[in-house]
């Protein structure tokens, strides 16, 4: 159901408490039967600073479709991928491009 050109926010589910908290925001470049290719930025949770840190360079990733290990959010097409960051808005972890796109990603309240 994804289409080329759509912007996505992807959360990779952790299997164990010690697993990295990894998210991805990017633009879909192509879609196959079982996976899609997207170009954008990876965000890793840094437990020392309690913040998500963005990769320095843009990356191209191939991500599975229909996997229980990832959650794919389709975000507004006007989202500026280069401007996306994580912010604390009223105690809730929010992914934002500081313009049109704001997505609260706390699953269980105000804790990260």
Give the mean model confidence (pLDDT) for residues 51-60: 94
pLDDT tens sequence across 15-35: 777 777 899 999 999 999 999
Give residue 85's pLDDT. Answer: 94
pLDDT average, residue stretch 70-83: 94
pLDDT above 80 for 5: yes
How is the chain split into domains, by residue range?
Answer: 7-79
Q: Is the pTM of this model over 0.85?
A: yes
- Cα separation, 81 vs 92, in Å, equals 21
Location of structure tokens 């990260």: 112
């Amino acid at each position: 159901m994804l289409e080329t050109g759509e912007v996505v926010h992807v959360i990779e589910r952790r299997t164990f408490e010690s697993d990295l908290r990894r998210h991805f925001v990017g633009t879909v470049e192509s879609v196959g039967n079982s996976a899609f290719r997207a170009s954008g930025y990876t965000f890793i949770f840094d437990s020392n600073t309690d913040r998500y840190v963005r990769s320095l360079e843009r990356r191209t990733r191939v991500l599975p479709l229909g996997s229980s290990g990832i959650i794919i959010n389709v975000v507004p097409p006007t989202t500026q991928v280069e401007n996306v960051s994580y912010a604390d808005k009223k105690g809730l972890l929010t992914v934002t491009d500081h313009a049109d796109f704001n997505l609260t990603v706390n699953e269980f309240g105000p804790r990260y």
